[in-house]
């Protein structure tokens, strides 16, 4: 009896300790703070391309799937197979996109993922620092910036800027319907709301 009491007191103390720890310094949020990207299921919030979002579904769609790349390399579809081995590629037939070793179903996510994540504080080139802040191009390095990512061409940068606007609209969608948010970034249709999207915009 006494032992049970002790255990109960212990458990209560542990619970109080963990909830206090989570409130001030959530373990799930720590990697997001450190890397500027991720999703915390405990808090139901995440960040990607500098945008805060509260939908895990939308986050996963934007973050892509690193595990799916090996399977894609073995695909019987030649389009998928060649996309899987490129730094960035797409199989238009299967609507599968690959960038930097991640597989995407969303063209919006793919266009953004063609860039490399940059750490402003670790940047050495002054031109890049200025360009990253202004979301422009460093003439010296020919590197173009959108959010916290660097793109190798101005064409990629222009596409990424457009894609970022689509993501912002999707975050607004997610406030009332997560399926609409996913449909917007993947040119799909929300079965619940019966809204179809093309190029990030609703079509009727
Ligand atoms: Zn958290
Ligand atoms: Zn394919
Ligand atoms: Zn530079
Ligand atoms: Zn919907």
The model's pLDDT over 128-157, given as tens digits with 9 standing for 90+, comes to 999 999 999 999 999 999 999 999 999 999
Report the length, in residues, of the chain: 204
pLDDT value, residue 17: 47
Q: Name residues with Cβ closer than 5 Å to ligand 3, which is an ion.
A: 125, 127-128, 138, 140-141
CA 123 to centroid of ligand 3, rounded, Å: 9
pLDDT value, residue 3: 58
- Expressed as residue numbers, the domain containing 86 is 65-105
> Which ligand approaches the C-alpha of residue 43 most closely?
1
- Distance separating alpha carbons of residues 181 and 117, to the nearest angstrom: 23
> Which ligand approaches the C-alpha of residue 175 most closely?
4
CA 32 to centroid of ligand 2, rounded, Å: 33
Q: Burial of 97 by CB count in 10 Å (0-12 exposed, 13-18 middle, 19+ buried)? A: buried
pLDDT value, residue 120: 85
CA 203 to centroid of ligand 4, rounded, Å: 13
CA 13 to centroid of ligand 1, rounded, Å: 21
Q: Would you say residue 197 lies in a domain?
A: no
- Distance separating alpha carbons of residues 5 and 96, to the nearest angstrom: 57
CA 68 to centroid of ligand 2, rounded, Å: 13
CA 149 to centroid of ligand 4, rounded, Å: 29
> Which ligand approaches the C-alpha of residue 190 most closely?
4
Question: What long-range pairs does 27-30 form, CB within 8 A, spacing at least 24?
Answer: none
pLDDT value, residue 204: 72
Q: Would you say residue 7 lies in a domain?
A: no
Q: Would you say residue 3 lies in a domain?
A: no
pTM for the whole structure: 0.85
Q: Would you say residue 101 lies in a domain?
A: yes
Instruction: Quickly tell me which residue has 């995440």 as its tokens.
Output: 46
Q: Would you say residue 92 lies in a domain?
A: yes
Its sign, for the CA torsion 102, 105, 109, 110, is positive
The model's pLDDT over 62-119, given as tens digits with 9 standing for 90+, comes to 999 999 999 999 999 999 999 999 888 999 999 999 999 999 999 999 999 999 999 9
Number of domains the chain is built from: 1
Residue 9 has pLDDT above 60, yes or no: no
> Which ligand approaches the C-alpha of residue 81 most closely?
2
Q: Would you say residue 77 lies in a domain?
A: yes
Question: Which of 18-22, 107-111, 147-151, 176-180 has the weakest average pLDDT?
Answer: 18-22
CA 161 to centroid of ligand 4, rounded, Å: 24
Residue 22 has pLDDT above 80, yes or no: no
First to last CA, the chain: 68
66 CB neighbour count, 10 Å cutoff: 11
CA 140 to centroid of ligand 2, rounded, Å: 38
Q: Would you say residue 31 lies in a domain?
A: no
User: What is the SS3 string spanning the chain?
Assistant: CHHHHHHHHHHHHHHHHHHHHHHHCCCCCHHHHHHCCEEECCCCEEEECCEEECCHHHHHHHHCECCHHHHHHCCCCHHHHHHHHCCEEEECCCCEEEECCEEECCHHHHHHHCCEECCHHHCCCHHHHHHHHHCCEECCCCEEEECCEEECCHHHHHHHHHHHHHHHHHHHHHCCCHHHHHHHHCCCEECCCCEEEECCEEEC
- Distance separating alpha carbons of residues 109 and 133, to the nearest angstrom: 22
CA 191 to centroid of ligand 4, rounded, Å: 7
- The answer to whether 160 touches 149, Cβ cutoff 8 Å, is yes
Q: Would you say residue 116 lies in a domain?
A: no
pLDDT value, residue 25: 85
The model's pLDDT over 29-43, given as tens digits with 9 standing for 90+, comes to 999 999 999 999 999
């Amino acid at each position: 009896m006494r032992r049970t009491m002790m255990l109960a007191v212990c458990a209560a103390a542990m619970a109080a300790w963990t909830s206090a720890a989570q409130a001030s310094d959530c373990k799930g949020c720590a990697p997001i703070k450190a890397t500027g990207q991720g999703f915390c299921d405990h808090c139901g919030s995440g960040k990607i391309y500098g945008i805060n979002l509260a939908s895990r579904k939308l986050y996963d769609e934007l973050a892509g799937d690193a595990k799916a790349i090996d399977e894609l390399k073995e695909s019987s579809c030649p389009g998928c197979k060649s996309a899987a081995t490129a730094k960035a590629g797409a199989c238009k037939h299967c609507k599968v996109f690959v960038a930097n070793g991640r597989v995407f179903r969303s063209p919006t996510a793919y266009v953004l993922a063609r860039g490399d994540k940059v750490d402003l504080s670790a940047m050495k080139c002054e031109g890049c620092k200025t360009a990253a802040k202004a979301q422009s191009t460093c003439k010296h390095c020919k590197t173009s910036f959108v959010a916290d990512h660097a793109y190798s061409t101005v064409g990629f940068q222009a596409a990424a800027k457009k894609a970022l606007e689509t993501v912002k609209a999707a975050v607004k969608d997610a406030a009332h319907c997560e399926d609409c948010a996913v449909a917007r970034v993947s040119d799909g249709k929300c079965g619940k709301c019966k809204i179809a999207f093309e190029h990030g915009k609703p079509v009727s």
